[in-house]
Amino acid sequence: MGHLTEDRAPDGPRLGGAAAFAGLLAHRSGVPTAILTAVDAAFPFLDELTGITVDRVHSTHRTCFRNRYRSDGSREQTILSRAATIPESGIHRAAAELPPGSAVLYAPVADELGGRNALPRPRGRGALAGAAPQGLIRRWDAAGQVSTHWSARALERLAGLDLVSLSETELPEGIELSVPLLAVTRGRHGALIRRPGLPAVEVPASPGAEVDPTGAGDVFAAALFLGLWKGAPAEDAARLAAAAAAISVESPGTEGVPTLEKASVRLSAWSANA
């Protein structure tokens, strides 16, 4: 659940948004997939999501970003426009209508998940709820320059989820997230997996020839989440997620979003040569 976006790139606009990257990974991996979003009627990228059920909240605008990457890999992000908020009632209804044992990944990019209460869980045994919560902790100034800002509301909304995945730049000192599994991505330095009462586990980055880093964290979160939902141990799911993220950066935008099978092949080849 989250906004599909138009990302302004040097070679022209393209499909973006964490929901798009996550949804494509799930769909390409053979999982029945639905996206709850808000976009305008003229949003031009829906054909790229063929095979995914896209439930659209009416909006007169779309969320649009411009991303610029610095030499150190950090990102300067500007929001140019924002689509409508997804109503809290719609979020709860969508989660409640899923088959028992489903998985929901909350993937906001512009504080679009309406309400203040904890995000709902799907019902049934084996159900999983997680978040790539970047949009819950983003603020922007009058010029659209995006920055990270944690609030009590953001922490409350994440309470009760099984997984939270975010980058180290989005998790300042002093922020404590009480979730069963916290994944902290560190770009070229891999990721950390943290669980209450257990030592943190370092997950090395999988090698990849970077073309476009946009969406790598979203692909990591989605692959980790899907691996966990399919029953993989956390460390194995995280290594698979690192391989998926490495593949994704080798092509522009959503073009390189892989299947879990392709990520598994990459992981096996890398492990054999390590």
Distance, CA of 107 to CA of 30 (rounded, Å)? 20
* Nearest alpha carbon to residue 48 among 103, 4, 108: 4
How many angstroms separate the most distant Cα atoms in the chain?
51
What does the domain layout of the chain look like in residue ranges?
A: 5-266
Q: What is the pLDDT of residues 162-218, one digit of tens each?
A: 999 999 999 988 888 889 999 999 988 899 999 999 999 999 988 888 898 899 999
Tell me, what's the pLDDT at 271?
77
Contacts of 201 (CB under 8 A, 6+ apart): 192, 193, 194, 234, 235, 238
Q: Which CATH number fits domain 5-266: 2.130.10.10, 3.30.2020.10, 3.40.1190.20, 3.60.15.10?
A: 3.40.1190.20
User: What count of other Cβ atoms lies within 10 Å of the Cβ of residue 225?
Assistant: 29
Is a pLDDT exceeding 70 seen at residue 72?
no
Tell me, what's the pLDDT at 70?
72
Query: Residue 121 in contact with residue 95, Cβ under 8 Å?
Result: yes
Q: What is the pLDDT of residues 75-111, one digit of tens each?
A: 789 999 999 999 999 999 999 999 999 999 999 999 9
Q: What is the pLDDT of residues 234-244, one digit of tens each?
A: 999 999 999 99
pLDDT more than 90, % of the chain: 85
Query: Residue 165 in contact with residue 195, Cβ under 8 Å?
Result: no
Please give the model's pTM, rounded to 2 decimal places. 0.94
